Amino acid sequence: MSKFKKILVALDGSKNSFRALTKAIEIAKETKASITSISVIQTYRTEMGVVKTFAGNAISKNYKSFVNKAKTRCKKNNISFLDIIQYGQEGKAIVSFAEKNKFDMIVIGSRGRGILKESFFGSTSNYIVHSTKIPVLIVK
Angle at 93 between CA 87 and CA 99, to 5 degrees: 140
Q: SS3 of 10, please? A: strand
Within a domain: residue 68? yes
- Number of folded domains that form the chain: 1
The domain in which residue 51 lies consists of 29-89
Q: Write the Ramachandran bin of 102: left for phi over 0, alpha for psi from -120 to 50, otherwise beta.
A: left
How far is residue 60's CA from residue 42's CA, in Å, rounded to a whole number? Answer: 9
Within a domain: residue 39? yes
Quick check: 56 pLDDT over 70?
no
Within a domain: residue 5? no
pTM to 2 decimal places: 0.88
Within a domain: residue 40? yes
Within a domain: residue 133? no
**Per mean pLDDT, which range of 7-21, 31-45, 47-61, 67-81 is the poorest?**
47-61
Within a domain: residue 75? yes
What confidence score (pLDDT) does residue 72 get? 98
Within a domain: residue 71? yes
Supply φ then ψ for residue 133, to 5 degrees: -95, -5
* Chain segment 80-107, per-residue pLDDT in tens: 999 999 998 999 999 999 999 999 999 9
- Residue of 140, 134, 87 whose CA lies nearest to 112: 140
Within a domain: residue 47? yes
